[in-house]
Every structure is written in structure tokens, then in C-alpha cells.
């Protein structure tokens, strides 16, 4: 069968994927839902003609969306995932033994139904007894949940339609209020190659709201450019720095991750210069990178001003917590 699925990535760029059998196709009140089998990636899910996930490479995105914030938090008990009706992020969240409740706020119930039926390896976490599903607007859910969650993860579609509000400073302020002390907020924020202006706006908005904000990244083959940005805000400390004993305490060796690892956690916060330039002036990653790496001889002085690095106690990126 020689049928091709094409996704327009920009007005001047599209990618194509050979499709075998279309196993599910419907239009929900919100979007067109397609589940199809492919030779390259196995079964895939597309919404409004945009690839969301697939059986072969999904692990990178879902692991990085979940584990960075959950390991950065000292005791994540209540976690909210906004969007992500395929269940992949929830699957990773419930691997953590500290998690008592994982809430999925998904506006489109039909996506959940399709994932449960056609993508069981991705959606398995939806059936975990700690998972609660709230079908409705994630923005409204966050607004009515003050001081509730330890981690909020926004696994949204691209910033069009109902998802537009998930990329606003108003929503980030609402998320800040929904987090408990020490809480962390993570959101997928597209490709620095094709969405630089969006990333700049998101990073500035997060810096206006959170004591610590920044970005990390992962390699996501099914998304435009492959280099995918995750933006993060913290009500507590520096999420780059995870106490060395935390992985053993959480039984990390039982997680069976394929991409996320302690060293990957630290490395994901190291950004190339063209991405650092998307962060606002004064952002910890940008400030430290330019002072410590691009200004010869200034790194030691900057380290003294920061009060030391806590060597021997923690592993992670350069420098101590910064606001």
C-alpha cells in the first residue's frame, strides 16, 4: 500500500510518513482524530493532521516531560497533567512510588477513548488506581485548584484552538497558585528552530511568575526539528540539582526508562547558545552560561558570588539555586 500521511510543519515545510492501515478515524467536537499503522513508527496518533505520538519513539517525550520535574521535587504526591489524553505522561508519573494521586485534565474525551482502545502500551497508566480523569478544560481545572499540586505538567497540542490559553502568562500565574510550596510546573514549548518567538514569550512569562524558570530539552523524532523544548518553573529550588540519594530512594532502577537517566537530567539543562538567546536576561541558565563559559576568567568569581555549588551533596547542572 502506497499511502502517505503529510504534516505541514511550516508554510514552507512538510514531512511525510507512509501509512498502512487506518485503524480509527473520527471527528470529535474539538478535533480530527486519526490512529494509523506505519512501518516506520508502528501505530501513531494524529490530531488535526499533526502527529502527537507513536509506539516506537514516544518514550523520549513522555519520560522527559514527567521525570525531570518529579525527581527534582523532594516528595511529589499530587500531580496534574493538563492535556496528554493519550496517557503517556501519566504512565510515567505513576512509576513514582511517592505519587498518591495523578490527575489527567483532558478536554477531549474521544482522545482518551481512542488511546485506551488503540494505544494500550502508551495509555496503560490511565488504569492505575491512583489516576483520576477530569474531562474538561484544563485551564478551568487549574483555576479552581489553589494550593493543590506538587507538580503540574502541560502536555498540550500546538498553540492553536483550545490550547492557546495554555501558553499565556495568565495561565502560568494560575498554575503558580495551584502549586503547593516547592512545586514545579512543566510545559512543552515546541521547537527552537521553528517556534523561537513562542519560546521567547513563554520564557519571559515564566520568569515574571516563578522564582526560578528555565528550559530543558529532549530529542523527539516525530516532532518538527527533533529538538524539543520543555519549559519549567519552580516555586522551590533549582530543578537541575537532584540529591544523589533520591534516585535510590525512589527505586529508579525499577522504572525501566529508555531515555531519562540522572546524567541525562543534568545534561538536558545544558543549552546551545542559539537556544540560550531565547531566554530572558537574568535567567539563571543564560546568566551562568555566559559568565562561566563565554567570559574567560569570570567563572570562579561568579561561583563565589553564588555561594558555592554544594559539592558532594547534589548532582546536576552548574551553580547553585538561583532566582
Active-site residues, by number, are 155
Most distant pair of Cα atoms in the chain: their distance:
64
Which of 178, 221, 208 shows the shortest CA–CA distance to 57?
A: 221
What span, in angstroms and rounded, lies between the C-alpha atoms of 286 and 275? 9
Which of 252, 254, 230 shows the shortest CA–CA distance to 242?
A: 252
Question: Strands, DSSP E only, in the chain?
Answer: 3-10, 13-27, 32-38, 42-47, 50-54, 78-83, 101-106, 131-135, 149-155, 179-188, 212-219, 227-234, 242-243, 314-315
What span, in angstroms and rounded, lies between the C-alpha atoms of 247 and 255? 10
Amino acid at each position: 500500500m502506497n499511502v502517505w500521511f503529510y504534516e505541514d510543519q511550516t508554510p514552507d515545510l512538510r514531512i511525510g510518513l507512509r501509512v498502512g492501515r487506518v485503524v480509527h478515524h473520527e471527528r470529535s467536537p474539538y478535533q480530527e482524530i486519526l490512529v494509523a499503522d506505519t512501518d516506520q513508527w508502528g501505530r501513531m496518533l494524529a490530531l488535526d493532521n499533526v502527529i502527537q505520538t507513536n509506539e516506537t519513539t514516544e518514550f523520549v517525550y513522555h519520560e522527559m516531560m514527567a521525570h525531570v520535574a518529579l525527581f527534582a521535587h523532594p516528595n511529589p504526591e499530587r500531580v496534574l497533567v493538563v492535556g496528554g489524553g493519550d496517557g503517556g505522561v501519566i504512565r510515567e508519573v505513576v512509576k513514582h512510588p511517592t505519587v498518591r494521586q495523578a490527575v489527567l485534565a483532558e478536554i477531549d474525551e474521544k482522545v482518551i477513548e481512542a488511546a485506551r482502545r488503540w494505544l494500550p502500551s502508551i495509555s496503560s497508566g490511565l488504569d492505575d488506581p491512583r489516576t483520576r480523569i477530569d474531562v474538561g478544560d484544563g485551564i478551568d481545572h487549574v483555576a479552581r485548584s489553589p494550593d493543590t499540586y506538587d507538580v503540574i505538567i502541560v502536555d498540550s497540542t500546538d498553540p492553536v484552538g483550545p490550547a492557546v490559553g495554555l501558553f499565556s502568562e495568565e495561565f502560568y500565574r494560575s498554575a503558580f497558585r495551584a502549586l503547593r510550596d516547592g512545586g514545579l510546573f512543566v510545559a512543552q514549548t515546541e521547537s527552537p528552530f521553528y517556534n523561537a518567538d513562542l519560546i521567547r514569550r513563554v520564557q519571559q512569562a515564566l520568569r515574571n511568575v516563578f522564582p526560578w524558570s528555565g528550559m530543558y530539552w529532549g530529542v523527539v523524532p516525530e516532532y518538527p526539528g527533533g529538538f524539543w523544548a520543555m519549559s519549567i518553573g519552580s516555586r522551590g529550588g533549582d530543578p537541575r540539582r537532584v540529591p544523589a540519594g533520591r534516585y535510590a530512594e525512589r527505586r529508579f532502577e525499577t522504572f525501566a526508562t529508555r531515555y531519562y537517566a540522572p546524567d541525562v537530567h543534568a545534561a538536558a539543562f545544558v543549552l546551545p547558545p542559539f537556544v540560550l538567546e531565547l531566554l530572558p536576561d537574568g535567567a539563571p541558565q543564560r546568566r551562568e552560561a555566559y559568565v562561566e563559559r563565554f567570559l574567560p576568567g569570570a567563572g570562579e568569581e561568579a561561583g563565589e558570588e553564588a555561594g558555592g555549588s554544594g559539592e558532594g551533596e547534589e548532582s546536576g547542572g552548574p551553580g547553585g539555586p538561583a532566582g
